[in-house]
Amino acid sequence: MTDTHHCPALLISAPASGQGKTTLVAALARYHRQQGRRVRVFKTGPDFLDPKIHQQASGHPVYQLDTWLVGEAQCRQLLYEAAASADLILVEGVMGLFDGTPSSADLALSFGLPVAAVIDARAMAQTFGAIATGLAGYRPELQFAGVVANRVASEHHQNMLRDSLPAHIPWLGAVPRSDQIELPERHLGLHQPDSISGFDNRLDAAAELIAATPLAQLPAAVPFTPAPAATATDKLLQGQRIAVARDAAFSFVYPANLQLLQQLGAELVDFSPLSDPELPPCDSLYLPGGYPELELDPLADNSAMHASIQQHHARGKPIVAECGGMLYLLQALTASDGRCRQMVGLIPAAAAMQPKLAGLGSQAVQFAAGELRGHTFHYSAFNTAPPMTLHAVRHPYGTQGEGVYQQAGLTASYLHWYLPSNPPLAAALFQGEAQ
C-alpha cells in the first residue's frame, strides 16, 4: 500500500508577471503562521528573491518546484516530505499560469494542486470576469479554485469585479491598493527582505488585509505520495571543506544546492568577500550569484581577499563561480553608473552592466560525465568574452546558450547550477574534475 500524506495545498498563479503573486503568497503564509500553523512554501521555476521573502513570511526554507530543472520525482518527494509535517502548502507560480515549458499549470496537474489566480484589477472592471473565465477554462482539467482581485480601488470597484464573474468561478476576495504592502523592485526583481524598510510590518499588514477574504480559509487537503526510492547519495565529498561566499554581494544560492553538498559529505563554511581579509581554510570555493555590481567598491577595495583567492587558484584548488560569482573573478566590472573597478582577475575578460536584460531562461550543459541543469538571468554582458570550454543548450529550444569557462579547477559561467540535477557531476565540479 502506498504511503500517502494529506495536506491542504494551493498554487497561486496569475495571468502574467507583476500581478502580485509574491505579495499574496507571503501574506497567506504570514497569516496562517500567525494562526499557529506550520506553513511550507515552494516557488515554481528558478528564482532566488521570491523564496527569500517567503522564507521570512513562513519561517521555513523555500525550495524550487520545476519538473524540468528539479525533475518530477524530486518535486514529488519534496511535496511529500513537506506534507508529512505541514498544516498548509503554498506554491507560488511563475509568470502567467500557462507560460513556460513546463508551466505552473503543468506543475499543478502533475501533483493535483488546486489553482487560485490573482488578477491585478487596476484600470479594469467587467473584463476581470473575462480574464478569469479564460484562466479557468483554457485547460478544463485543472482544479480551478477561484480568483482574487488585487489592487482594488474601492468597495464599488470590488463589487463590479465580483459581479463580473460567472457563477462557476469562486470569488476569493479582494486586496485593496496599499503602499503599506507593496514590495519594491530593482533590476533583478524584488529587493531582498533585509534591505526593505519595515519588511515584517509590510508582511503583517498584508496578512491583516487577507485575513477576512475567502482566500484565507484553509483549502482542501491534497494527497501527496512519495517518489520511487532514489539511489543513495554516495559521500563523494567526504572530508572536503567548501568555503561558500554569503553576504550582500553573493546570496543567490539554492538551499537544495547547499543541502546536496552536505549530503555528499562536504563541510560548508560561510565567508564574506566584502569584509573578510582571506578565505577560511578550505579545499574548494563556491561563489554563487548575487549583486556584485551594487557592492562594487568594497569588493574592489578588499585586495587582501583578491590575493587569497588568487593563491587558492594557484594551488590548483577548485572554484565554482555562478553569474555574479563569475563577475567577481573577472579582470574588471563596470557598474550601471559607469564606474569601472578591478576584480580578482582570474578570468581574462571584463563585463559591464547593461540597461536591458542580457540573459534569461533554463539551460543545460553536457559535460563528459553527464548533464547538469540550471538557469540564467543577468543584466551584465562581457566586453569581450573569455574562451569557453563548453556551451549550454537552451531549454526547450535546443539553441546555444551560455558559455562555461574552465581553467585549472575553475569552472565559471553565467549559469546558476541546480546541483541536485546530477549529484555525481556536482561533486566532480567541487573536486575540479568536471570536464
Q: Residue 383: which residues within 8 A CB-CB, separation 6 or more?
A: 349, 350, 351, 352
Q: Where are the beta strands (DSSP E) in 325-368?
A: 330-334, 340-342, 347-353, 359-367
Bond before 288 cis per omega within 30 degrees: no
Which candidate, 319, 330, 315, places its Cα nearest to that of 287?
319
Report how far residue 105's alpha carbon sits from residue 109's, in angstroms, rounded to the nearest whole number: 6
Which grid cell is 82? 513537506
- Which residue in the list 7, 75, 282, 323 is annotated as catalytic? 323
Which candidate, 135, 133, 131, 115, places its Cα nearest to that of 123?
131
Report how far residue 343's alpha carbon sits from residue 162's, in angstroms, rounded to the nearest whole number: 55
| Residue 126 DSSP class | T
Which candidate, 369, 76, 294, 52, places its Cα nearest to that of 194?
52
Parallel, antiparallel or unpaired: strands 284-287 and 241-245: parallel
Q: 3-state DSSP call for residue 36?
A: coil
- Please indicate whether residue 340 is annotated as part of the active site: no
Query: Which residues form the catalytic set?
Result: 323
